[in-house]
């Protein structure tokens, strides 16, 4: 029996087909009472279409409870989608199991939000980084150490020999996140999914980690899916950004276009609620739509944003959900009836 080797080959997707392609993706979670009576479901991801090209960096922006993490976990194969398809490198993920799923996971790196929680506290860095190599059948201690050193050097944790002997608590938050990124790179993945990788870090470190992700993404031509709640951290680090609201993608565009000419009222609300540091901020009230983010158990009808939307059109927005692809510009898509 051959041990599956971690893939070192370049992405094999057919020319023209993106590396990752999700269509009509749904991830619902059943709500049960007393463990068995079904009382409803949380519709965390609802009809998401998403493509990610080899070597493309894409941000998914949304507030907590918008379904962005469920989307990430579904793409990682940690949740089984309730509906829709995901194809990675030409192969459907639905129903992957056992060895095929393991092979898939070797090709997708994962960077979590809380680096300390992501690193087992009782293992030293050497052991933490050797683990995925052992699991995915990289033979020979010397080869593993060589790979670990390369990965540590790549994320700037040099001299690697010093870092390998340390335990997670001996590293700063930024260094811990570098170890997590090194671990994600170890098996030479084709794609990295980073779920809020910098939200627990300090401002001065945040940019370092974002730059590092962008650099390795470019150098290895990785596909990067960067999940964040903070629209101000996307500009220089991704090519394209998607905005999620209530389990759906409401807008997607090249990142500078999205920031300069947003088309969806929700994106506009996010942009006007955020500000760059300025002494005048203290003297003005910001425009904020009233209300609360939608419930994913009992979502509003029609457009999920209509109860809070200043431009909602009666008789239209609350009735029919807008299709996801009105195009104010060729590469800019908005799910909003205003663009019909």
Partner 1 sequence: MADAPLMEIEDLGLSYATEQGTLRAVDGVDLALHRGEALAVLGESGCGKSSLAKTLLRTLPRNAYPPTGQLRLQGREVLGLPEERFRREVRWVRIALVMQAAMNALNPVVRVGEQVAEPLRIHRRASRRQARQRAAEAFEEVGIPTDFLRRYPHELSGGMRQRAVLAMALVTEPDLVLLDEPTSALDVLTQASIMNVLKRIKHERGVSFVFITHDVATASELADRVALMYAGQVVEAASARAFFDEPAHPYSRLLMAAVPRLHQERPPSPIPGRPPSLLDPPAGCRFAERCPWAFERCGEPPPMAPCGERHHARCWLHPGLGGER
Q: Is 235 in the site for partner 1 (CB under 8 A)?
A: yes
Q: How far is the CB of 109 from partner 1 (least distance, A)?
A: 22
Q: Is 211 in the site for partner 1 (CB under 8 A)?
A: yes
Q: Which is nearer to partner 1, 39 or 78 (CB)?
A: 39
Q: Which is nearer to partner 1, 7 or 233 (CB)?
A: 233
CA–CA distance, 2 with 66 (Å, rounded to integer): 42
List of E strands, the chain: 20-33, 37-52, 57-61, 83-88, 91-92, 108-111, 191-195, 223-228, 240-245, 248-254, 326-329, 332-334
Q: Which is nearer to partner 1, 55 or 173 (CB)?
A: 173
Q: State how far the alpha carbon of 267 is from the alpha carbons of 44, 121, 212, 242, 288, in Å.
A: 19, 39, 27, 10, 12
* Position among 26, 55, 123, 205 found at the interface with partner 1 (CB under 8 A): 205
CA–CA distance, 151 with 146 (Å, rounded to integer): 9
Q: How far is the CB of 284 from partner 1 (least distance, A)?
A: 8
Q: How far is the CB of 37 from partner 1 (least distance, A)?
A: 21
Pure H helices in the chain: 68-75, 98-106, 115-118, 125-135, 141-154, 160-164, 173-185, 203-219, 255-260, 265-273
Q: Which is nearer to partner 1, 131 or 239 (CB)?
A: 239
- State both tokens at 71: 């989307």
Q: Is the dihedral of CA 305, 307, 309, 311 positive or negative?
A: positive
* Position among 236, 261, 327, 329 found at the interface with partner 1 (CB under 8 A): 236
Q: How far is the CB of 162 from partner 1 (least distance, A)?
A: 15
Q: Is 297 in the site for partner 1 (CB under 8 A)?
A: no
- Give 162's Cβ-side CA count (13 Å radius): 8
Q: How far is the CB of 307 from partner 1 (least distance, A)?
A: 13
Give the binding range for partner 1 (CB under 8 A) out of 87-95, 128-136, 226-234, 312-320.
226-234
Binding mask 88-127 for partner 1 (x = CB under 8 A): ----------------------------------------
DSSP symbol at 96? -
Give the binding range for partner 1 (CB under 8 A) out of 51-59, 138-146, 233-241, 298-306.
233-241
* 249-288 positions binding partner 1, by CB under 8 A: 259, 269-271, 273-279, 281-283, 285-286, 288
Longest dimension (CA), the chain: 70
Residue whose entry in the numeric block shows the structure tokens 């398809």: 85
Q: Which residues bind partner 1 (CB under 8 A)?
A: 63-64, 172-174, 202-208, 210-211, 229-233, 235-236, 259, 269-271, 273-279, 281-283, 285-286, 288-289, 292-293
């Amino acid at each position: 029996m051959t041990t599956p080797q971690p893939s070192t080959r370049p992405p094999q997707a057919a020319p023209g087909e993106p590396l990752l392609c999700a269509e009509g993706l749904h991830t619902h979670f059943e709500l049960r009472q007393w463990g068995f009576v079904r009382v409803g479901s949380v519709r965390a991801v609802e009809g998401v279409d998403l493509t990610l090209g080899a070597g493309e960096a894409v941000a998914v922006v949304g507030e907590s409870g918008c379904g962005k993490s469920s989307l990430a976990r579904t793409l990682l194969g940690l949740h089984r989608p309730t509906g829709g398809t995901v194809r990675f490198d030409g192969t459907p993920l639905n129903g992957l199991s056992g060895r095929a799923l393991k092979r898939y996971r070797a090709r997708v790196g994962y960077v979590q939000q809380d680096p300390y929680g992501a690193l087992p506290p009782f293992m030293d860095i050497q052991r933490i980084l050797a683990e995925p190599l052992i699991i995915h059948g990289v033979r020979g201690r010397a080869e593993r150490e060589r790979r670990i050193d390369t990965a540590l050097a790549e994320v700037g944790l040099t001299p690697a020999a010093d870092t390998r002997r340390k335990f997670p608590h001996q590293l700063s938050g930024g260094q811990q996140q570098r170890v997590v990124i090194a671990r994600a790179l170890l098996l030479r993945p084709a794609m990295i999914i980073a779920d809020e990788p910098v939200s627990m870090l300090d401002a001065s470190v945040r940019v370092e980690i974002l730059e590092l992700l962008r650099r390795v993404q470019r150098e290895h031509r990785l596909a990067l899916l960067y999940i964040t709640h903070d629209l101000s951290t996307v500009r220089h680090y991704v090519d394209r950004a998607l905005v999620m609201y209530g389990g759906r993608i409401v807008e997607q565009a090249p990142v500078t276009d999205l920031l300069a000419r947003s088309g969806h009222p929700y994106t506009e609300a996010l942009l006007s609620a955020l500000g760059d540091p300025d002494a005048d901020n203290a003297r003005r009230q910001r425009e904020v739509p009233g209300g609360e983010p939608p419930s994913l158990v009992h979502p509003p009808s029609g457009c999920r944003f209509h109860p809070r939307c200043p431009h909602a059109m009666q008789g239209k927005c609350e009735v029919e959900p807008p299709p996801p692809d009105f195009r104010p510009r060729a590469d800019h898509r908005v799910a909003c009836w205003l663009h019909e």
